[in-house]
Every structure is written in structure tokens, then in C-alpha cells.
């Protein structure tokens, strides 16, 4: 009897668990048995591994092969276990030395010709391996971009199993060009200077970027709602290394690194179509629970155009992550929590035809149609929106104006200055953004000036705002105060915050 062992990683959400892959080759009727709660992709690994090894010049043992993935109680999914199973099989056969392959985590799917294909979740797998004391990893060459972010580990990218076995036997391998981790991915084509007029909406976007506040833009078609939303990520500060790793890990699990560079420090911008389902919005899946749009927008912007056209319950499914900054998905295979701290931007027309403006501007909708259309944005959802701005149609004077507006670079500098001002205030706190200030702290420590509080209490007594609305306005007032470097929100700051929240009568 001979035994071979290797290490791999099983992902449950963003959390990785070290899996010990054991292969036993014994005398008996030839066969292949896989243990350890595998899914369908893992059950099919036998034929992939056999073809890959035979086509790479190796010998498949004509004996009884038992593969065990431990811990056995944990569900294993995905084809990333192909490579560690193949290595354990060759170790059990005695054709590769065990010294060089020990304490190395293997991740990769095998093609029938022996190539090592890319898999999802390489970065969170390496993070989990590092936390468990593993310092070396073999990954597919196609995943080297995201794997290189784990500079603390020795990452060995391999194109095929033949090259990997040559390295394990001789220690020789071709040098891989070192990747530069500092990558600037800013899209200069999306600049706020392109937006004509719309001073109120531009200011609301700036306040949203300062404090992480949610924003509703409502106006007729062609007024610039989408232009403003698309340019908001350009005024957000660059992601720190920890934030970039977290965002890249989420996109790696979802398989979205084909459209987003793993080395990017830019805030993500996710814009699902209004026909997206609830599962697409919050995440899910029957066998492998994957993150949805709200988690892919973590540390960035989630933009939903034509928001009232979304299916029943789709927008309301965002209510819990809007409050908690995370989303917990429960399925029969288990429960997974993903971070979902994003800025929500909703865009909507004022009526089904889009031409309603309160002045009879060629609108063909009845009052009942207008109310029914806007009522699709539920009250509980709207209570979680900090800023509501009406985007008016542009006139000839604004469109023909030759001078460009303030650029994204200038606005981003103001946003960074305001955030630095807030960071000094929150130096001993567990949060960093004004939108994250807990209600208890708003009542005890972070209150605006006395006149401002009197104004808010008056509006609360008139039932113009709810208790949640009161706290939302206070948080927005802090962001406006930070832009002006005020030590506390003044009455004027608070009134502007109130006007931004009540800017749309819906």
C-alpha cells in the first residue's frame, strides 16, 4: 500500500479552509473512489486527471485508487482540486519526490491535454493558505495576476502539468516575468467636466462620495442621470491595498476578473440591468453560493438605471445590505456572508413616459399612472436613500456654454480633503465614513449645533421625517460640514442636508 498527500483550499464564501488531499493506491479491482462530500465537478475529476496524466507522459495506476478530501464533513466544490489530486496520485505512485511538494498548496483545473486551466477564487484561497501558515503555492499561469497580489507568499505559476512535474523532479523552471503591482486604471474619458449644468446633482454626487451616501437621481430622459452616475467612481479615493485585495477576492470568486484588473485600485462600478433577478442582485446558487451585484460593488458604486422597472422585490432585497454593509445568503448547502458596503445610485424617470415635470411638459400620463410608477420605489427603500435630487432638462444656454465644468480630478481632491478631515475625527472609532456613524454615537457625541438640532426636531415633530431620516440627515450634514472644514455641522449645513434628502416629492 502507498499513500500520497497534498494540500488545497476549499472556499466557503470568502473564507478558505485547508483541505488535505490523500490518495491511497492499493491492490484490488481497478477503480476510483472519491470521498469527502464532493460536488458534480469534483466527481468528474477522475476522467480529466487520467487523460491529463496520460497525455503528459505519465502512467495511470491500474489498481484500486481511493481519494479522500478531509475534513470529510465539509462540502467540496469546483474543479480546482484536479491538480492537488493529480499530485497526490503521483506521490502515491512514487514517481515524484515528496520533499519538494510538501507544504505547498495546489490550485488548478486540468485540461485533457495536461494544461492547467484557470479557476475562480485563487486570491481568497491564497489568503486563507497564508493565514494557516502555508508560504508556497502552485497556481495556473492564467491566475498569476491576482495571485501576485499575495507578495508575502512564494507563488509558482504553471502552464501545464508536465512543466510542474519537471520542476518538482529537478527544481528547474522557466523564469516568469515579475508583474508590476502599481497599476493606474482610471478612465479619463469619464470626467465630470463633460456634464453640462446640473449643479445640484453634481454637488449631491460630491457629498455622496465624501460620506458614502446613497443617491436617487430623478429626471426626464437625456438630462444626464447616467452620465453623473458613471463618473462618481472617478471622484472616489483610490482603494488601499487591503481594500483592493478584498474587492479582487470577491470578483475572483464571481469570475469577474476578465473585465476588472486584479491589480486595480479604482472603486468598482457595477450596473446590472433592471431585468436582473433577486439572486443576481444579492447572490446565491444551489451548489456554490456566489456573490451578487451588491457584493461585487463592495467599496464602490452600485448603479441601477430605470429603477422603477425592476422586478417585484428586487430593489427591496437591497434593504438589509444597505443597513448592515453585508449580505448573508442561506442555502441547503450552508450559509455564506459576503461584504456589501457600497454606494447605491438609483436613476428614475418622473413618470412612465418620462416627460412629467410639474409644468405639463408634453406628459401623457395620468396622475394615477405617475403615482403607481413611483410607488414601485417602496417607502422602506426610499427611507434608506440619503440624497434625492431632481435632474432638470438642460436648456440651450447650458448646452452651448463653451467653458467646461469642474474636472473629476479637482472634485476628487476636495473629496479626499474632506475624508481626511473626517478621518482625524474618527481616529479612535471603528468606522471611517459619515454614513457609517452608529445611531447611538449620533445621539451622544456626533450631534450638529444646537440650532441645527432644533430644526431637525421641529421637522420630526411635524412628521416630515422618520427617526431613520433624522439620522440620515445628520450623517449627510457631517459630510457637507467636512467639505467646508466645519468642526460641527451648522444650521446651514443641516438645512442643505435636509433639502438634499427631501429634494424629490415621492
Say what the pLDDT of residue 16 is: 92
Q: Which of 465, 467, 462 is nearest to 498 (CA)?
A: 465
C-alpha dihedral (190, 192, 195, 199), degrees to nearest 10: 160
2 DSSP β-pair partners: 25
State whether 104 and 237 are in the same domain: no
Residue 477 within any structural domain of the chain:
no
d(CA 360, CA 168): 77
Cα–Cα distances (Å) from 42 to 10, 216, 382, in that order, read 12, 45, 45
DSSP states of 377-400: S-HHHHTT--EEEE-PPP-HHHHH
In the chain, how many domains are there?
2
pLDDT tier for residue 60 given thresholds of 50, 70 and 90: very high
State whether 131 and 269 are in the same domain: no
Give per-residue burial for 435-470: e unless 16+ CB within 10 Å, then b.
bbbeeeebeeebbbbeebbebbeebeeeeebeeebb
Three cell numbers, residue 219 = 429626471
364-388 pLDDT, tens per residue? 888 888 888 888 898 889 989 999 9
Element (H, E) at 65: strand 64-70
Say what the pLDDT of residue 231 is: 93
Please check whether residue 202 is in contact with residue 405, taking contact to mean a CB–CB distance below 8 angstroms.
yes
Does the pTM of the predicted model rise above 0.95? no
Q: Which domain holds residue 33?
A: 2-170
Residue 369 within any structural domain of the chain:
yes
Q: Pick from 103-107, 192-196, 357-361 the range whose average pLDDT is largest.
A: 103-107
State whether 163 and 196 are in the same domain: no
Say what the pLDDT of residue 505 is: 40
In the chain, the percentage of residues whose pLDDT exceeds 90 is: 60
State whether 234 and 147 are in the same domain: no
d(CA 321, CA 210): 20
Cα–Cα distances (Å) from 218 to 215, 270, 374, 400, 466, in that order, read 10, 19, 10, 23, 22
CATH number of the domain bearing residue 108: 3.30.230.10
Say what the pLDDT of residue 355 is: 74
3 state DSSP class of 3:
strand
Say what the pLDDT of residue 145 is: 86
d(CA 420, CA 404): 28
State whether 199 and 164 are in the same domain: no
Domain ends where: 137, 170, 203? 170
State whether 197 and 166 are in the same domain: no
Average of pLDDT values for 88-113? 90
Residue 23 within any structural domain of the chain:
yes
Three cell numbers, residue 109 = 483545473
State whether 22 and 63 are in the same domain: yes
151: buried, middle or exposed (CB in 10 Å: 19+, 13-18, 0-12)?
Answer: exposed
Three cell numbers, residue 302 = 452600485
Residue 140 within any structural domain of the chain:
yes
Domain ends where: 395, 415, 448? 395
State whether 231 and 366 are in the same domain: yes
State whether 101 and 221 are in the same domain: no
3 state DSSP class of 255:
coil
207-235 pLDDT, tens per residue? 999 999 999 999 888 888 999 999 999 99
Domain ends where: 369, 395, 421? 395
Residue 228 within any structural domain of the chain:
yes
Cα–Cα distances (Å) from 353 to 115, 346, 357, in that order, read 54, 18, 11
Q: Which residue has the higher pLDDT, 122 or 265?
A: 122
State whether 306 and 354 are in the same domain: yes
Please check whether residue 283 is in contact with residue 290, taking contact to mean a CB–CB distance below 8 angstroms.
yes
pLDDT tier for residue 506 given thresholds of 50, 70 and 90: very low
- Look at 64-73, 162-171, 367-376 and tell me which has the smallest mean pLDDT: 367-376
State whether 248 and 366 are in the same domain: yes
Residue 384 within any structural domain of the chain:
yes
pLDDT tier for residue 178 given thresholds of 50, 70 and 90: low
Residue 213 within any structural domain of the chain:
yes
416-462 pLDDT, tens per residue? 999 999 999 999 998 999 999 999 999 889 999 999 999 999 999 98
Element (H, E) at 158: strand 154-158
3 state DSSP class of 112:
coil
State whether 122 and 206 are in the same domain: no
CATH number of the domain bearing residue 277: 3.40.50.300
In the chain, the percentage of residues whose pLDDT exceeds 70 is: 92
d(CA 119, CA 125): 11
Residue 457 within any structural domain of the chain:
no
Amino acid at each position: 500500500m502507498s499513500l500520497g498527500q497534498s494540500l488545497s483550499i476549499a472556499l466557503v464564501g470568502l473564507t478558505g479552509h485547508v483541505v488535505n488531499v490523500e490518495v491511497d493506491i492499493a491492490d484490488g479491482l481497478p477503480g476510483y473512489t472519491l470521498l469527502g462530500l464532493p460536488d458534480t465537478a469534483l466527481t468528474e475529476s477522475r476522467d480529466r486527471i487520467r487523460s491529463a496524466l496520460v497525455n503528459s507522459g505519465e502512467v495511470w495506476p491500474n489498481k484500486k485508487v481511493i481519494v479522500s478530501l478531509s475534513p470529510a464533513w465539509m462540502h467540496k466544490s469546483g474543479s480546482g482540486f484536479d491538480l492537488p489530486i493529480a499530485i497526490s496520485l503521483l506521490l502515491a505512485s512514487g514517481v515524484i519526490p515528496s520533499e519538494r511538494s510538501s507544504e505547498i498548496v495546489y490550485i488548478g483545473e486540468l485540461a485533457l491535454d495536461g494544461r492547467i486551466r484557470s479557476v475562480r477564487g485563487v486570491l481568497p484561497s491564497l489568503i486563507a493558505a497564508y493565514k494557516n501558515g502555508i508560504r508556497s503555492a502552485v497556481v495556473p499561469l492564467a491566475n498569476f495576476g491576482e495571485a501576485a497580489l499575495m507578495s508575502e507568499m512564494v507563488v509558482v505559476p504553471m502552464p501545464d502539468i508536465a512543466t510542474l512535474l519537471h520542476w518538482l523532479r529537478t527544481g528547474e523552471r522557466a523564469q516568469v516575468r515579475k508583474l508590476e503591482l502599481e497599476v493606474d486604471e482610471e478612465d479619463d474619458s469619464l470626467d465630470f467636466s463633460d456634464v453640462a449644468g446640473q449643479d445640484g446633482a453634481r454637488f449631491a454626487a460630491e457629498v455622496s462620495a465624501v460620506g458614502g451616501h446613497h443617491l436617487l437621481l430623478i429626471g426626464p430622459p437625456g438630462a444626464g442621470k447616467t452620465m453623473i452616475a458613471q463618473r462618481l467612481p472617478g471622484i472616489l479615493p483610490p482603494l488601499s491595498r487591503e481594500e483592493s485585495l478584498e474587492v479582487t477576492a470577491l470578483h475572483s470568486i464571481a469570475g469577474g476578473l476578465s473585465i476588472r484588473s486584479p491589480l486595480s485600485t479604482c472603486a468598482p462600478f457595477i450596473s446590472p440591468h433592471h431585468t436582473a433577478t433577486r439572486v443576481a442582485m444579492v447572490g446565491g446558487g444551489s451548489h456554490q453560493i456566489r456573490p451578487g451585484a451588491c457584493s461585487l460593488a463592495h467599496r464602490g458604486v452600485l448603479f441601477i438605471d430605470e429603477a422603477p422597472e425592476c422586478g417585484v422585490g428586487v430593489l427591496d432585497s437591497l434593504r438589509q445590505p444597505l443597513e448592515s454593509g453585508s449580505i448573508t445568503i442561506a442555502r441547503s448547502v450552508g450559509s455564506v456572508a459576503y461584504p456589501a458596503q457600497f454606494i447605491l445610485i438609483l436613476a428614475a424617470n418622473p413618470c412612465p413616459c418620462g416627460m412629467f415635470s410639474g409644468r405639463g411638459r408634453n406628459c401623457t400620463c395620468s396622475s394615477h399612472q405617475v403615482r403607481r410608477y413611483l410607488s414601485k420605489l417602496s417607502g422602506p427603500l426610499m427611507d434608506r436613500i440619503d440624497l434625492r435630487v431632481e435632474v432638470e432638462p438642460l436648456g440651450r444656454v447650458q448646452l452651448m456654454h463653451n467653458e467646461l465644468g469642474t474636472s473629476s480630478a479637482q472634485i476628487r481632491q476636495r473629496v479626499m480633503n474632506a475624508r481626511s478631515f473626517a478621518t482625524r475625527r474618527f481616529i479612535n472609532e471603528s468606522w471611517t465614513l459619515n454614513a457609517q456613524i452608529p445611531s447611538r454615537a449620533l445621539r451622544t457625541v456626533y450631534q450638529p449645533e444646537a440650532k441645527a438640532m432644533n430644526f431637525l426636531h421641529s421637522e420630526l415633530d411635524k412628521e416630515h421625517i422618520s427617526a431613520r431620516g433624522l439620522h440620515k440627515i445628520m450623517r449627510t450634514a457631517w459630510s457637507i460640514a467636512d467639505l467646508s472644514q466645519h468642526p460641527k455641522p451648522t444650521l446651514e449645513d443641516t438645512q442643505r442636508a435636509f433639502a438634499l434628502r427631501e429634494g424629490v416629492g415621492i
